[in-house]
Amino acid sequence: MDLEFFIKKQSEISSRIIIADLLEEVKVVAGADCSFDEKYVYACIVVMKIDDFSVIDFALAKELVTFPYIPTFLSFREEKAIIKSFYKLKVKPDILFCDGQGIAHPRKAGLACAVGVELDIPTVGVAKNKLCGTFKKPTNTRGSFSYLYYRGEKIGIVLRSRSGVKPIFVSPGHKISLERTREIVVKTITRYRIPEPLRIAHIFANYYKQGKISRMIL
């Protein structure tokens, strides 16, 4: 596989992202996650109200797996299915969380960047592990954070979403600032490590793969 071709595509994505606070009040937030088997990628987007986390819409889509798992190239495995599921939504969110990186990526072209640029919507990357950069550990208290740096630039936030639990790595994808990213993600943390929109999307995506749901009535 010629990865240079895909690196060029990532450079194009990076050149188009906007890291600025272009959001007004956020009332509806969504999470996108994918599950895999040997043949397909199963994507789910869950849309919920940010004030009470009630689910108001969700959409499912599957695509053939056409790209292998290679670190820093996640968008080429998942983006197509996520985009397909987004267009099925009846209720469009103010912002979309992606289970992956935003600009906290060696080429500033994580999954959230690719999806945000393609859909032209605000997106945030929320990852369980660091892909690149250095940081000081935040304190063990829930809500504490530190900044993630790469090549001298601030590219993300290391957020302690639960006391005494490993932090999550949050970064802007498109059309949102770094500080606003943290603010919105913090609002979606309940008693779990992962923001509620992504937690529910993860459950639904796995159910979809297992054949337990095709389209539930809300």
Phi, psi for 201 (deg, rounded to 5): -60, -35
Range 128-133 average pLDDT: 97
The per-residue pLDDT for 72 is: 97
Phi, psi for 34 (deg, rounded to 5): -130, 150
Range 161-171 average pLDDT: 96
Other Cβ atoms within 10 Å of 61 Cβ, number: 20
Other Cβ atoms within 10 Å of 66 Cβ, number: 9
pLDDT at residue 218 greater than cutoff 90: no
Strands (E) across 53-167 are located at 55-64, 95-99, 123-127, 145-150, 153-159
How sure is the predictor about 119, in pLDDT bands with cuts at 50, 70 and 90?
Answer: very high
pLDDT at residue 135 greater than cutoff 70: yes
pLDDT at residue 187 greater than cutoff 90: yes
Say if strands 145-150 and 153-159 run parallel, antiparallel, or are unpaired. antiparallel
pLDDT at residue 212 greater than cutoff 90: no
Provide the mean pLDDT of the chain: 95
How sure is the predictor about 217, in pLDDT bands with cuts at 50, 70 and 90?
Answer: very low
pLDDT at residue 213 greater than cutoff 80: no
**How large a percentage of the chain has pLDDT more than 70?**
98
pLDDT at residue 216 greater than cutoff 70: no
Which residues are bridge partners to 47 per DSSP? 30, 57
Question: Span 27-128+170-209: which CATH code?
Answer: 3.30.2170.10
Q: Are 180 and 24 in contact (CB under 8 A)?
A: no
The per-residue pLDDT for 138 is: 97
The per-residue pLDDT for 2 is: 85
Predicted model pTM? 0.95
In three-state form (DSSP H/G/I as H, E/B as E, the rest C), the secondary structure along 150-177 is ECCEEEEEEECCCCCCCCEEEEEEECCC
Q: Are 160 and 145 in contact (CB under 8 A)?
A: yes
d(CA 121, CA 45): 14
Ordered by start, the domain boundaries in the chain are 27-128+170-209
